[in-house]
A and B are shown apart, each in its own frame.
Chain A
Amino acid sequence: MNQPISKHIFRAYDIRGLYNKDISPDVFYKIGLAAGTYVKHSMHGTQISVGSDIRQSSQSLVHAFIAGVTATGVHIYHTGTTSFGQTLFTGVALHADLITFVTASHLPPEWNGLKFYYGDGVGFPEENLMAIRDLVLHDSFELVPWNHIGQVTSVDAKSGYKHFFTSQFKFKKKLTIALDCGGASMTLSAPEIFTALGFQVIPVYCDPDPTFSKRPSDPKPKNLTTLVQTVKKNNSDLGVAFDGDGDRAVIVDNIGQILTADQTGIILGKYGLKKKKGTIIVNVECSKSVKEQLEPLGYSVKQIPVGHTFLTLEAKQTHALLGIESSGHFIIPEYFLFDDALVIPLKIAQILDRVKKPLHDLVMESPSYPTKKEEIECADNIKFEVIQQLKQKLSKEYTQANTMDGVRVDFEEGWVLIRASNTSPIIRLTTEADTTTILQDLSSQFMKITQEIIQQIKTKLRKDVK
């Protein structure tokens, strides 16, 4: 079992791997040693909070992690098996120095991993995660003598969290919600809280199912057919689907239409915020309609790179009112800085309770533009170089080019985003435009530019080899 640990399990925002292949209790023990060492030395902290999602492998990993952390003399608040929000909420309430959660988010059940957040709920930056990675890879841990071993305090993450929502939200109407937890971690919080708030809950996969046998834990449209049918059959006011750990929510309206994150975000911005002044942050993949709809109301919409870590970090720095990630992460900092998905359907329900219109009507108020997502094959060793050259070239040609994450070029009638995938040998080309004709034009134009640069680099590489 003493095989070397792959550095590839350490990704930009979290740790992920296949159980018993890339990650195991032995690996998590070392990650615990590294996290403890890091908290002690680099953060001058004393306390890590940890919980785990419902996956079958999470328990062996979380206990190994705790054994590692305590061996370095750092104490543990153990929140147990919870949804993402329950552990984060409790970690923030207890002022932990670092909050960790064992999960592989929406990935299939044979995967697992670990997420890191600061004590205020802000995501852990990549460079800090890489510092922990280096401690793991170099076996650079500091163990303490017997009388300084860390202690473990088991904490109840459920009642305080529930109380928070039941005191923050009040509803006049008895709304009907179809709740699709996918058998995953949200089964541990959502059904109980919605019921306590007086909703008529129509459960869809709300029994804990640690092997995700009912539906994949990624709430993509194709995995939500049961939810959509349930909404229609029961004339629900809304439906919601969560991912494996509960940091992403997908909303379904009363006629069974699955909303994009942009559509949900626009409704939240238009109807869900008290003030009509301040910053709303969106990642570079978000639709132009967000800006079009929300800026006239008085908000300023700010683009940020893709990744929920940036979302939380930016929200804190800019005192944003709302953060929208195209993948379905949202933050509403009046509640938390972290991306707990439970807030989203509650906030939408609160809007429905007040505006007295069906959700579908609110969706239809804003236009939805055609989009296109294409994948261009490109070897891992050159994909970042391709993006680099594209940035230089397009910045010269288009003054409005945005290079904070890949390169995005905005036009009157649409925009294009070209980014390298962090995980696969792929370059992604995303386009949005007012009409399908413009969409096709923009897409093929920038596809051609990208292909040319890939060819140039390949040719140069071949020459260099010769």
Chain B
Amino acid sequence: MTRLFGTNGIRGVVNKDMNSTLALQIGQAWGTYLKKTILRPKCAIGTDARLSNHMLKSAVTAGLLSTGCDVIDIGLVPTPTLQYAVKEKRFDTGVIITASHNPPQFNGIKGTAHDGTELTKDVEEAIEKIYFSQQAVLSEWKDVGSYSTWDGAIELYINGILSHIDITSIKKQQFHVVLDCGNGAGSFVAPILLKKLGCIVTELNCEPDGTFPGRHSEPIPENLTMLMKVVSENGASFGVGLDGDADRAIFIDEHGSYIWGDKSLSLVGKYITKKKKGGVTVTPVTTSTCFEDVIRQNKGSVIYTKVGSPIVARAMKENNAVFGGEENGGLIFPEFQYCRDSAMSLAKILEILATEKRPLSELIMEIPSYEILKTKIACPNEKKEQIMNLLVEEMKTHNEISDIDRTDGLKLYMKNGWVLMRPSGTEPIFRVYVEAKEKRRVEQITIFYKNLVESIIQRL
């Protein structure tokens, strides 16, 4: 079946493949799905700061109402704010209009279940099935849903975060934080949160603006150069950059150096397992070994999953994990909620700094370092499965491999490193990730496996 939902909801270019007709019909399909089990579903809807947010929100709202769902519009909010509101206010579903870190011409529709976690694949497929078969069931005039607005979501969310951290210790330190919201939805939350925590805040791009005039939305190093500069020039405690819908946070140390997501994930994981004297943690197979190193040091364990934050969140819930997240700055705090949360990540880093009373760069230095190389190889979608099968066959004869992990793609552990080969779910490419202690070793492994995959593609 053709798919609408990708790894992170339905995405597209506005008024081209992401338009009101689609959004209206998605709303109707979604509402029809909810009505199968719930008499009068209550749906929360919110948006990020993109220019097409109202248009798509109105279309989805019309669709949900017309199938007999009540809609509660919570306005412009970060994705985790909506997710928290859905969980706390017991809504039956949450809809967020966002294209996360994509360029401004994109927008999308993402959903959450009643507990605030992202929709499972089963639910997405059920909605898609109704959409493609045009089996939406519209309510009679008297059963059309009711629409209302509620502007308490941000306050509820900020208070929720504050109740989960040590405010007193943080306030005492009077941290100076440089905050770069990338003109995204985080602008509505992060500045308020930091001020409530007694921080001195230098704001960059904290005006919500759907054209993203300040920087590109994805918090990768080349988009955070200004943030790095401002942190080092102002002697700030650290810097933080958010993505468009503020579910991910990337940190900059007090010298202005970019901290990779693996490292901040590991730092927080270390702190939590240390405090809890162990515990289960969850992360995708793509995460650096440094995470497992620090978790094991603190008597914790790591469960590896397929790539995708909803999958990580589900595994955390099933295994009663104490912490989890991805290497892209998406951290999940189960005591608060089962989804990526930049504001909670920010609050947690502040708490760690307040407890440890040492600069961020020093804490990061203590996390083991690995060399990582990520490459991609062009590969037609229809050949991907065959390539994977041939790769698995081939590996049986390689004796340098100590372990094989088939969680997502093919991950091979060997002396001093690992390689992960996985076909992309969305693009016609094959990804090859390699990690080892030394740079030369990484290059060596990469060349070998890249050649191997290419030769297989050639052969087919």
Contact = CB atoms under 8 A, between A and B. Distances in A.
Interface of A: 1, 19-20, 24-26, 28-29, 55-57, 59-61, 63-64, 66-68, 70-71, 76, 109-110, 112, 143-147, 149-152, 154, 211
Contact of B65 (A60, A146, A150): A60
A66 B144 contact: no
Contacts of A68: 20
A59 B63 contact: no
Contacts of B145: 59-60
Given A67-B20, A67-B58, A60 B66 contact: yes
Contacts of A112: 141
A44 B300 CA distance: 66
Contacts of A152: 54-55, 58
A63 B51 contact: no
Contact of A146 (B14, B21, B142): B14
Interface string B95-106: 000000000111
Nearest to A63: B62
B132 interface: no
Given A25-B63, A146-B52, A59 B144 contact: yes
A149 to B, nearest CB: 4
A60 B144 contact: yes
Contact of A67 (B13, B62, B105, B144): B62
29 contacts: A1-B134, A19-B140, A19-B141, A19-B144, A25-B28, A25-B65, A28-B62, A29-B20, A56-B146, A57-B144, A59-B144, A59-B147, A60-B62, A60-B65, A60-B144, A63-B58, A64-B66, A67-B24, A67-B55, A68-B20, A70-B52, A70-B58, A76-B54, A109-B141, A143-B19, A145-B15, A146-B105, A147-B105, A211-B142
A59 B147 CA distance: 7
Given A20-B138, A20-B141, 11 more contacts: A1-B138, A25-B66, A57-B144, A60-B144, A63-B62, A63-B65, A67-B20, A67-B62, A70-B20, A70-B52, A76-B54
B23 interface: yes
B169 interface: no
A352 B105 CA distance: 61
Contacts of B15: 71, 143-146, 149
Interface string B139-161: 01111111101000000000000
Contacts, number: 117
Given A26-B24, A152-B54, A109 B142 contact: yes
A144 B19 CA distance: 11
Contacts of A145: 14-15, 105
Nearest to B211: A147
A367 to B, nearest CB: 44
Nearest to B134: A1
Interface in B303-355: none
A152 B71 CA distance: 17
Contacts of B34: none
B59 interface: yes
A56 B141 contact: yes
Interface string B1-31: 0000000000001110001110110001000
Contacts of A70: 20, 52, 54-55, 58
A71 B51 contact: no
Nearest to A75: B54
A375 B149 CA distance: 48
A146 B51 contact: yes
A145 B106 CA distance: 11
A71 B19 contact: yes
Interface residues of B, number: 39
B105 A66 contact: no
Nearest to A26: B24
Interface of B: 13-15, 19-21, 23-24, 28, 51-52, 54-56, 58-59, 61-63, 65-66, 71, 104-107, 134, 136, 138, 140-147, 149, 211
Nearest to A19: B141
A63 B23 CA distance: 12
B24 A25 contact: yes
A56 B211 CA distance: 36
A56 B58 contact: no
A183 to B, nearest CB: 13
Nearest to B103: A146
B141 A61 contact: no
A63 B59 contact: yes
A286 B317 CA distance: 73
A124 to B, nearest CB: 22
Which of A55, A64, A76, A109 lies at the interface centre, i.e. has the most chain B CB atoms within 10 A of its CB?
A: A64
Nearest to A145: B15
B147 to A, nearest CB: 4
B310 to A, nearest CB: 27
B104 A147 contact: yes
B56 A67 contact: yes
A446 B442 CA distance: 102
A144 B134 CA distance: 27
A64 B60 CA distance: 8
A323 B28 CA distance: 44
Contacts of B146: 56, 59
Contacts of B54: 66, 70, 76, 149-152
B63 A1 contact: no
A64 B21 CA distance: 9
Nearest to A150: B55
3 smallest A-B Cβ distances: which pairs?
Answer: A146-B14, A67-B59, A152-B54
A211 B141 CA distance: 9
Nearest to B19: A71
Contacts of A67: 20, 23-24, 55-56, 58-59, 62
A29 B211 contact: no
B138 A24 contact: yes
A402 B20 CA distance: 49
A146 to B, nearest CB: 4
Contact of A149 (B55, B61, B138): B55
Which of A55, A60, A143, A144 lies at the interface centre, i.e. has the most chain B CB atoms within 10 A of its CB?
A: A60
Contacts of B52: 70, 146, 149
Nearest to A73: B15
Contact of B58 (A66, A109, A110, A143): A66
Contact of A64 (B13, B24, B104): B24
Nearest to A143: B15
Contact of B61 (A26, A28, A63, A154): A63
A436 B49 CA distance: 70
Contact of A110 (B71, B141, B147): B141
Nearest to B147: A59
Contact of B21 (A29, A61, A110): A29
A280 B28 CA distance: 50
Given A59-B146, A147-B105, A20 B51 contact: no
B290 to A, nearest CB: 39
Nearest to A70: B55
A326 to B, nearest CB: 30
Contacts of B134: 1
Contacts of B14: 145-146, 149
A293 B457 CA distance: 96
A144 B16 CA distance: 10
Contacts of A24: 66, 138
Contacts of B19: 71, 143
Contacts of B104: 146-147
Contact of A56 (B55, B138, B142): B142
A99 B93 CA distance: 34
B24 A57 contact: no
Contacts of B136: 1
B58 A64 contact: yes
B187 to A, nearest CB: 17
